[in-house]
Amino acid sequence: MLNPQVVDSTLAVALSKGGDFAEIFVEDRQATGTSLDDGKIEEMSSGRNRGAGIRVIVGETTGFAHTTDLSEEGLAKAAMAAAAVATRSPQGGTVSAGDVGGSGAGLREMEAGRFKGTYEPLLAKLSGREGRVILPESVPKSRKVELLRQADEIARAQGGAIAQVMAGYGDSRRRFLVANSDGVWAEDDQVRTRISVSCVAVGDAGMQTGYESVAETVGFELFEKVKVEEVAAAAADRALAKLNARPAPSGALPVVLKGGSGGILFHEACGHGLEADHIVKDSSVYAGKVGELVASPLVTLVDDGMMAGEWGNFLVDDEGMPAKRNVLIENGVLTDYMWDYVRGRKRGVPSGQGRGRGGAGLGSSGNGRRQSYEHLPMVRMTNTYLIAGSDDPDEIVAQTPRGVYVAKLGGGQVNTTTGDFVFGMVEAYLIEDGRITEPLRDANLIGNGPEVLRRIDAVAGDFSMSPGTCGKDGQSVPVGCGQPTLRITEVTIGGTAGA
- Shortest CA distance to 47 belongs to which of 61, 30, 62, 33? 30
Q: Give a yes or no: residue 39 inside a domain.
A: no
Q: Give a yes or no: residue 206 inside a domain.
A: yes
123 shares a domain with 111: no
Please state, for a pLDDT cut of 70, what percent of the chain lies above it: 88
- pLDDT at residue 232 greater than cutoff 70: yes
pLDDT digit string, tens, across residues 420-441: 999 999 899 999 999 999 999 9
Task: Residue 23: give the domain boundaries.
Answer: 4-29+45-115
Write down which residue in 192, 214, 244 finishes a domain. 244
Please state, for a pLDDT cut of 90, what percent of the chain lies above it: 76
Mean pLDDT of 113-133: 47
- pLDDT at residue 322 greater than cutoff 80: yes
197 shares a domain with 68: no
255 shares a domain with 233: no
3-state secondary structure of 394: helix
Write down which residue in 200, 224, 244 finishes a domain. 244
> Rounded to whole angstroms, how far apart are CA atoms 267 and 276?
15
Mean pLDDT of 141-154: 97
Write down which residue in 199, 227, 244 finishes a domain. 244
E-assigned strand segments in 373-401: 378-379, 383-386
- Quote the distance between the C-alpha of residue 8 and its chain's center: 32
> Rounded to whole angstroms, how far apart are CA atoms 495 and 499?
9
CA dihedral over 284, 285, 287, 292, signed as positive or negative: negative
Segment among 128-137, 195-204, 270-279, 403-412 with least mean pLDDT = 128-137
pLDDT of residue 269: 84
Q: Give a yes or no: residue 345 inside a domain.
A: yes
For 214, left (φ over 0), alpha (ψ -120 to 50), or beta? beta
Q: Give a yes or no: residue 36 inside a domain.
A: no
Amino acid at 60: E
Q: Give a yes or no: residue 38 inside a domain.
A: no
State the alpha helices, DSSP H only, in 24-117: 72-86
pLDDT digit string, tens, across residues 443-473: 999 999 999 999 999 999 999 999 999 999 9
pLDDT digit string, tens, across residues 368-378: 999 999 999 99
Which position has the higher pLDDT, 108 or 350?
Answer: 350
Residue 193 phi, psi dihedral angles, 5° rounding:
-140, 140
Q: Give a yes or no: residue 499 inside a domain.
A: no
Which position has the higher pLDDT, 150 or 263?
Answer: 150
Confidence bin at 499 (pLDDT 50/70/90) = low
pLDDT of residue 349: 58
Largest CA distance in the chain: 76
Domain count, the chain: 3
- Shortest CA distance to 184 belongs to which of 115, 124, 130? 115
- Shortest CA distance to 71 belongs to which of 23, 26, 14? 26
Confidence bin at 497 (pLDDT 50/70/90) = low
- Shortest CA distance to 40 belongs to which of 152, 208, 202? 152
Mean pLDDT of 264-274: 90
First to last CA, the chain: 60
List, in sequence order, every residue forming a beta bridge with 353; answer none if it has no partner.
none
> Rounded to whole angstroms, how far apart are CA atoms 404 and 494?
12
Segment among 164-173, 300-309, 333-342, 490-499 with least mean pLDDT = 490-499
Q: Give a yes or no: residue 40 inside a domain.
A: no
176 shares a domain with 51: no
pLDDT digit string, tens, across residues 80-95: 999 999 987 454 333 3
pLDDT of residue 308: 86
138 shares a domain with 53: no
207 shares a domain with 103: no
- pLDDT at residue 46 greater than cutoff 70: yes
Is the pTM for the entire model greater than 0.75?
Answer: yes
Strand 475-483 and strand 383-386: the pairing is: parallel
- pLDDT at residue 350 greater than cutoff 60: no
134 shares a domain with 104: no
Which position has the higher pLDDT, 351 or 231?
Answer: 231
265 shares a domain with 333: yes
266 shares a domain with 123: no
Which position has the higher pLDDT, 414 or 456?
Answer: 456
The average confidence (pLDDT) of the chain is 88
Give the dihedral of Cα atoms 51, 378, 299, 399; nearest 10 deg: -70
Q: Is 224 exposed, middle or buried (0-12, 13-18, 19+ CB in 10 A)?
A: exposed
Mean pLDDT of 230-243: 96
> Rounded to whole angstroms, how far apart are CA atoms 126 and 321?
17
> Rounded to whole angstroms, how far apart are CA atoms 174 and 189?
6
- Quote the distance between the C-alpha of residue 135 and its chain's center: 22
457 shares a domain with 359: yes
338 shares a domain with 479: yes
CATH number at residue 135: 3.30.2290.10
> Rounded to whole angstroms, how far apart are CA atoms 261 and 275?
22
284 shares a domain with 224: no
pLDDT of residue 131: 57
Q: Give a yes or no: residue 233 inside a domain.
A: yes
